[in-house]
Structure formats: C-alpha cells, structure tokens
Amino acid sequence: MTRQERRKRLAGLSFSEKVKILEKLRRRSLAIAASGLRRKSAGGVRNADQDSRPA
Amino acid sequence: MKTTLEMINRMQGDGVIGKYAIGGAVGATFYLEPSATVDVDIFAMLPKAGSSSLLSLAPIYEYLKAHGCDADGEHVVIGEWPVQFMAPSDVLEREALAEATETEIEGVKTWVMTAEHLVAIAIRTGRPKDHARILQFLEQDAVDTEKLNRVLAGHGLIAKWQQFKKKYRADTND
C-alpha cells in the first residue's frame, strides 16, 4: 500500500475510529515527552515541550 | 474523548454554554487522516452575564471545577483531554459555529466545523501548522472548492488565499 493509499484509508475511517487513533498518538507523544527522548534527540538545544507539541 | 464530550454536552444542557463545535486538529480529523494533537479546541457560544455585554469563560471553568475537572494553564482537563474553550471572536467564527456539522463519537452527539470553515480559519490564522493542515485538506480533496471560495470571499480572505496558493500550490490549478 502506498503512503497516499494509506492516508486515504485512514481518512475514510469513522470519526470514532479516528479519535481512538488520536488518543493513541497523544498517549505516545506524552510518553515520549516524559521519557526525555525528544530532548536527547534534539541535542538539548530546543525546548522539549515544544518538540513534543505536534500541530 | 467520550467522557470529555459527555461532560461538555452536560454543560450545554445545564445552560453554561450554548451551541458548540469542535475546531482545530481534532475537528480536522473528522475529514482527514488522524494527526497527533495534544488538546481539543471547542468554540462555544456563551450566554451574556446579566446586563453586561462582556462574555466571560469563567462560568465554564467554575462549572467544570465543581465537576472535578482541573485547570491546566489555558486548558481544562476533562477526562483524558485538555480542552481549550473559545468564544467565537468574529463573524467567520460565529458562522463556523452556526453551520457546524452534527456527528457522533462513540455514540455521543457532537458538532464539528465544516471543512471549508476550518480551512478559512486556518488561512486567517496563518501559522506554519495551519498551512500544513490546509495542504492536507487540499491533497485529500476534503473541501468543496466552490463553498470554500464563498466563505473566503465572504470574510475578506481571498488575498490571503492567493498568497497561500502562490507559496505552496504554484504548480496546481486549484
């Protein structure tokens, strides 16, 4: 499956299913932020909170 | 999210807020593939307090605090989600609220701004993350172009739209 096909498939899910994915993504972002991995990967130059705040 | 929306609907039923709609990244997810976000943006009509013409978010925070929710900066944490409440600040946002689409999440009724209003608000706001989201809407054919043009024209956003297209979509015929 190409990236475009995968995006189309995800966009076609029900809102409830998409929100469940949003919740998983949010928990993952919070776990990564809490672990400090973002800070390490950014070399400590940028603010870790800003790095972990997706658009 | 179910718990979050149940509490917001309860607050609406109790008259603390009027009509509301989900905007921002969660609203965009109604039309697009999910993309990570840390909060939920809720645009809500607020009843005016007494004879004052000023609108205040204080009743929302007081209501939610009384129902066990904690404030976290500009957000209130309801269930798992930090929620930012905003009163519509202009005609575009009031129109977006009035024309919001009714839907359900896990059996809970809610409202989401139309794709065209989400794009128009993003054009007006104009941050890089707003532009990235607009590109997603366009790439996935998730907007009605005629309706979008009407909304943009109605709110004086055509010039900003042209600038956006020149910057990001010079190679297309949109």
pLDDT score at B54:
60
Indicate if the alpha-carbon torsion angle B155, B16, B61, B8 is positive or negative. Answer: negative
Q: Is A25 close to B36, i.e. CB distance below 8 A?
A: yes
pLDDT score at A39:
57
Q: Does A40 touch chain B (CB under 8 A)?
A: no
Report residue B145 as tokens: 């172009």
Report residue A24 as tokens: 């998983």
Tens digit of each residue's pLDDT (9 = 90 or more) over A7-50: 888 999 999 999 999 999 998 888 888 887 655 555 444 443 44
pLDDT score at A49:
42
Q: Does B132 touch chain A (CB under 8 A)?
A: yes
pLDDT score at A45:
43
E strands in chain B:
20-23, 40-44, 70-72, 75-78, 81-86, 101-105, 108-112
Tens digit of each residue's pLDDT (9 = 90 or more) over B95-126: 999 999 999 999 999 999 999 999 999 999 99
pLDDT score at A4:
81
* Complete domains list, chain B, with CATH: 2-113 (3.30.460.40), 117-168 (no CATH)
| Least confident stretch, B15-19, B47-51, B61-65, B122-126 | B47-51
